[in-house]
Amino acid sequence: MSVSADVADLTGAGLELSISGNVATVTLARPERRNAMTPSMWRGLARAGESIPPDVRVVVVRGAGPSFCAGIDLRMFSPDGVPGEERGLSAADPGFQESIAGFQAGYTWLRNPAFVSIAAVQGHAIGGGFQLALSCDLRVLAEDARFCMKEPALGLVPDLTGTKPLVDIVGLPRAIELCLTARTVDAREAAQLRLAELVVPVADLDAAVADLVAALLSTDAAAARATKALLQAAPGNSLEQQAAAERAAQATLLRARQAG
């Protein structure tokens, strides 16, 4: 079923949001432009995140058509801009960073421990599209998937929350090499770099994602949420801190179960 909240609004932003049981699917739905992104789409992604029902356990992010996402709509850089989109986002504007924070909100919600987010990637994921895939907890790639952090080639830094997960996943030297050359990583290399949990033939992408979703739904919901939160905290914790966090999480989980 489609979510009632702001469906027309999301459609106008080039997005679709559907909920089936405990699974939400966000689709970038501008295939004729390879799902190129605009400020409206970034804000729409944030609104999609806000409207995820509390019982959702898995969020799948996918792109319609041959590419996952071609990154920012390059017409944003042209004098005519993109019809219907705001113009004149300038670094001289005092609200410039606040605007970017609003765009970043379209990405950060995917890390919510309430659910596991999966990027289902076929074709190109470039710039803001690569960063969207990086914002998800897991990435399932079709064999034709291609990642590219294009921003430095265009005179920009990646600013849609992708730099931290990239460094966390591939390490600092490889992240520097990938970003500062803006080269393209194919699906085989993405798997080697741990940028893909799974690489499957193009025709099998939806089935592979469905299998992964089913496996994720097979565990206890409350335990899964608490475990994702624990795992997310682990890199910033010492062993002692993490051990204490495990004890506290277990106590909270079991107390809630006894109470319920």
Q: How far is the CB of 26 from ligand ACO (least distance, A)?
A: 18
What is the signed CA dihedral for 55, 60, 64, 68, rounded to 10 degrees?
150
Q: Which is nearer to ligand ACO, 115 or 147 (CB)?
A: 147
Residue 224 near ligand ACO by CB under 6 A: no
8: Cβ–Cβ under 8 A, 6 or more apart, which residues? none
How many residues touch ligand ACO (CB under 6 A)?
19
Residue 57 near ligand ACO by CB under 6 A: no
Least Cα distance to 199 among 143, 134, 136 occurs for: 143
What DSSP designation does 18 have? E
Q: How far is the CB of 82 from ligand ACO (least distance, A)?
A: 8
Residue 16 near ligand ACO by CB under 6 A: no
Residue 127 near ligand ACO by CB under 6 A: yes
- Name the closest residue to ligand ACO (Cβ): 127
Q: Which two tokens stand for residue 238?
A: 């010492």
Residue 30 near ligand ACO by CB under 6 A: no
Contact in structure between 67 and 122 (CB atoms under 8 Å): yes
Q: Which among 14-22, 29-37, 200-208, 221-229 is the span making contact with ligand ACO, rule CB under 6 A? A: 29-37
CA 161 to chain centre: 10
Quickly tell me which residue has 């995140």 as its tokens.
49
Q: Which is nearer to ligand ACO, 124 or 225 (CB)?
A: 124
Q: Catalytic residues, which ones?
A: 151
Alpha-carbon distances, residue 105 vs 109, 147, 195, 255 (angstroms): 7, 22, 22, 33
Residue 36 near ligand ACO by CB under 6 A: yes
Residue 66 near ligand ACO by CB under 6 A: yes
Q: Which is nearer to ligand ACO, 72 or 208 (CB)?
A: 72
Distance CA 69, CA 64 (A): 9
Q: Which is nearer to ligand ACO, 74 or 234 (CB)?
A: 74
Helical (H) or strand (E) element with 16: strand 15-20
Q: Which is nearer to ligand ACO, 195 or 216 (CB)?
A: 195
In 10 A of CB 48, how many CB atoms? 26
Residue 28 near ligand ACO by CB under 6 A: no
- The mark string for 68-87 relative to ligand ACO (x by CB under 6 A, - otherwise) is --xxxxxx------------
Residue 124 near ligand ACO by CB under 6 A: yes
Q: How far is the CB of 207 from ligand ACO (least distance, A)?
A: 23
Quickly tell me which residue has 């830094």 as its tokens.
157
Q: What is the DSSP string of 127-145?
A: THHHHHHHHSSEEEEETT-
Helical (H) or strand (E) element with 258: helix 239-259
Site for ligand ACO, rule CB under 6 A = 33-34, 36, 66-67, 70-75, 124, 126-128, 150-151, 154, 156
